[in-house]
Each structure stands twice: as C-alpha cells, then as structure tokens.
Structure 1
Amino acid sequence: MANIIVETAETPSIDNLDGKIRLILAGEQLFAKNGINGASMREIATKAGQGNHAAVQYHFGSREGLVRAIFDYRMDQMETARGAMLDNAQTHGRLKDARTILEIILLPQLDLQDADGNHSYASFLSQYLLQSRSPEFGDFSGSEPPNLTRALHLMRERIDYLPPFVAQRRLISVSLMFLNILMRHHGTDESAFGETFSEALEDTMEQIVEGMCMPLRLASAPSENL
C-alpha cells in the first residue's frame, strides 16, 4: 500500500476567536501540558485572555464540562473529513476493510494543530484515554458525532468475534499507538529517526490493523498439580 500523504492545518490564532472557543483551546493546551487535573480553571481563563477568572465555570460548569467541550469542538472539526472518507470507502466497496475503517477513525486527527502548530489535542486525548475505564466499545467522552459513530460501528462489526471489553481495550491501545507517533515525531528532525514521518505512520498503521484485528488467543489456565 502506498505511503500515507500527510497534510496538516493549523488552528487560527487564539486572539481571533470568540471567548468560549478561546477557553476551549486554552484548556486543551494546558491540559496537554500539565495534565487534565493539573491545570487550574484560573490558569485556563488567564491564558484565554479572560479577565473573569470564573469564565470556565460560567461557560462550562466544571472541569469535566470543559473536557467534554474540547472533545465536542475537535470531533466536530473532524466530521467533514470522516464523512468524505466514508463516502469514498462506500464508493470503492471498502466499508468492511479494517485498514480503511481505522484510517477513517484515526487519520483526521493529523489536521488538529493548535495555534502554536503543536498537536496538543493528541497529548490531551492520550491522557484522557490512559484514565479511561469504560468497557463499552468506542466510549471515550460521551460525544457521538454521526460519522465517527458510523465508523466505530463498522469497526465493531469487523471484529465481532471479540468480546466488547476486549474490542474497547484494543481500540484504546491502537489509538495510543497512533497518538504516540504523532507526538513523538512532531517538530523533530526526521534524520534523527532514520525515517520520515509518513514512513513511520505507514508502519504504525500496519501494526494498528494487526493489533486491532488479530484473533483472541488466551492461554489455558495452568492445571493444578495433584
């Protein structure tokens, strides 16, 4: 399969956005840097240029409300790309192809750069996934954008031989693999890695497909010595 073509688009300067969006993006950056529980609401309001230090509570109610708003904002940004990818997959009869479905789920995140050109959403999402305890497949934030929901449904059908909790564990694992390669290579000298980002991403996607779809192999419990 040909190497993935990587294109990215930066988020506009935070100064040119309305107050609520500035809070969302400031929260994303500070959560990415300091951890979801490591940034104060006051710090986020200050970074967003809000004189009212209670602005986060006013707009989102709580830290959890802001986290949900970050997911909703970014997932909405990825919906158009996912819709186009789903249409293309349907046209070419690839809606049951695991690689195609996983690309629809994962690749739109490549375009999500913050105002500084960094992948703060990738770091934010990694931290969120590491804390996730839900056994329900595709349950990350409670958000259910239609195109992502459809892609996740297609993936679940593709791996219907796995128990739901195993499918969810694998989905989180492969998502972390993808996010790791995104953060690890961003802003670095490619010569230091011995490969381009596109080459590393292509290899990672192949690993992701294998890891997501391999049959469940559980070792038999050892028999007790009599």
Structure 2
Amino acid sequence: MGVTAHQGSRRHEQVEHTRLRIIVAAERLFAEHGVFSVSNRQVSEAAGQGNNAAVNYHFGTKADLVRAIIQRHAEPMEQLRAELLERHRGSTRLRDWVTCVVQPYTDHLASLGSPCRYARLAAQLITEPQLRELAALEFAGASHLIAVTESLHACLPGLPPAVRNERDDMAHTLITHLCAQRERGLPEDPAAAAAVWSATAVGLIDAIEGLYQAPASRP
C-alpha cells in the first residue's frame, strides 16, 4: 500500500519539527560552550532525540548544521535589509547606509526575545577562521547586503579601497561582539530587552559612522 499525500505531509512536518529542535538545541549549546566543544551526540541528546546520530541523519556534518543555523537567521535579516534598502534608495548620506548595516541585525535579535543566543554564536563565526569561511559562503549570495555595501562605499570616494575594506571588517567585528556582550546581560522583560537593542543600534550607528569618516594615515 502506497504512502498517501496526507501521510507524506505528516512525515514532512515531523522531519521539519525534528530539524528545528536540533537547530535550537545546537544554537544554545554552541553559544554557551563553543562550536568546537560540543559534539553532534550532545546536540542530539539536548534536542531530545533517542537516536544519538540524529544530527548526522538530518544535517550531515557539524558544518552543515552550523550553515542551517546561519540560514535560519540570515533570511529574516535579509528581509529587514531589503525594507531599509528601499527606504534609503538613492541616499548619499553615510549614516543611512550604516543604519542599513546595523539595524537589520539588532532588529532581528530583538525579534528573538529573551533569552536569545545567536549573537554569541555570531561572535564565534567572525572570530574562528573555519566558521568565518562557512558564514562567508552563506552570505555570499545576500543580494541586499551586497547592495547596501556598495551604496555605503559610494559615500566614501576619498577612502582608499584597502582602508575601506579594513573598516568594513572593523565595523562587522564591532557589531557582532558588542551585540554578543549585550545578549549575555539581556533582561528577561520584553520591553526592557527591546530597549537594550534599540540603544545598542543607535550607539553602533554613531560609532561606525565615525569609524568610516576617520582620516586615513596610510594609502
């Protein structure tokens, strides 16, 4: 007897539910203990899976699991970025484009509620070379992020490309590490947590706008 459409749909829902439980458990463990300190077996157990090979079955390698976590957060951030990109399209103000870099990240973190853990994982992604390479592959096709970066660079015609690219790296490092710090002390009250992310965004936009406008002492 063949599998009915209803049975197939039910099976698909169960698989997606299991994958989500694994992703959530992995994100928590990776954020709290470090990606390289947590085994796939520990993730499977934390996700309530009787089969300790559940991560391998549903994702493959740990790298594939990390990519799935990145994708889960990258997609809503790219949507927020698209909205800001449309709002500021054609602007020649540096601050507008710095806002398009910072605010999708802080707004997304705010949407996760409290506690949230992605910022602490993201700080590892930008620090550890292997993880940074994984993240770069996932963000390589982020068309709205690329458009925002190009518009930001257009506001800096006098900044040498090597210096500009270095400051891009400085800006993203500042964003991820400051947000990771804020996340660790995030209040449980939703309104208070939202206020933390709002204030963090303003502070980052101020600092990064100044970073890009600072004089360059080398070519």
TM-score tier by shorter-chain length is 0.7 to 0.9
Partner Cα separation in structure 2 for residue 43 and residue 135 of structure 1: 23
The aligned counterpart of 1:192 is none
Local SS of the residue matching 1:42:
helix
Local SS of the residue matching 1:187:
coil
The aligned counterpart of 1:209 is 209
Whether the 8 Å CA contact 1:135–1:165 is kept in 2: the answer is no
Distance 1:188-1:24 versus aligned 2 partners, 3 A rule: closer
Whether the 8 Å CA contact 1:112–1:119 is kept in 2: the answer is yes
5 Å-filtered alignment, 1:19-98, equals 19-90=18-89, 93-94=90-91, 96-98=92-94
Partner Cα separation in structure 2 for residue 135 and residue 21 of structure 1: 23
| Deviation digits for residues 163-194 of structure 1 (CA, Å, limit 9, x no counterpart) | 165244323333235424532552189xxxxx
Q: Which of residues 111, 116, 121 is equivalent to 1:119?
A: 116
| Deviation digits for residues 133-170 of structure 1 (CA, Å, limit 9, x no counterpart) | 8999xx94311222223223333444463316524432
Distance 1:146-1:22 versus aligned 2 partners, 3 A rule: farther
Residue identity opposite 1:107 in structure 2: Q
- TM-aligned CA deviation for residue 33 of structure 1: 0.4
Whether the 8 Å CA contact 2:123–2:177 is kept in 1: the answer is no
Residue identity opposite 1:153 in structure 2: E
Moved more, 124-133 or 167-176: 167-176
The aligned counterpart of 1:173 is 173
Distance 1:22-1:77 versus aligned 2 partners, 3 A rule: farther
Alignment root-mean-square deviation, CA: 3.3
- TM-aligned CA deviation for residue 212 of structure 1: 3.4
Moved more, 52-61 or 173-182: 173-182
Distance 1:184-1:44 versus aligned 2 partners, 3 A rule: closer
The aligned counterpart of 1:5 is none
The aligned counterpart of 1:8 is none
Whether the 8 Å CA contact 2:114–2:188 is kept in 1: the answer is no
Partner Cα separation in structure 1 for residue 58 and residue 49 of structure 2: 12
Greater helix content: 2
Check if 1:101 corresponds to 2:69. Answer: no
TM-score of the pair, normalised by structure 2: 0.72
Whether the 8 Å CA contact 1:68–1:141 is kept in 2: the answer is no
The aligned counterpart of 1:141 is 136
Distance 1:81-1:115 versus aligned 2 partners, 3 A rule: closer
Partner Cα separation in structure 2 for residue 129 and residue 44 of structure 1: 22
TM-score of the pair, normalised by structure 1: 0.70
Residue identity opposite 2:137 in structure 1: G
Which segments of 5 or more consecutive residues in structure 2 lack a partner in the other structure? 1-13, 190-194
Residue identity opposite 2:46 in structure 1: K
Partner Cα separation in structure 1 for residue 204 and residue 145 of structure 2: 21
Local SS of the residue matching 2:209:
helix
Partner Cα separation in structure 2 for residue 33 and residue 135 of structure 1: 18
The aligned counterpart of 2:10 is none
Partner Cα separation in structure 1 for residue 73 and residue 171 of structure 2: 19
Which segments of 5 or more consecutive residues in structure 1 lack a partner in the other structure? 1-14, 190-195, 220-226
The aligned counterpart of 1:7 is none
Distance 1:80-1:116 versus aligned 2 partners, 3 A rule: closer
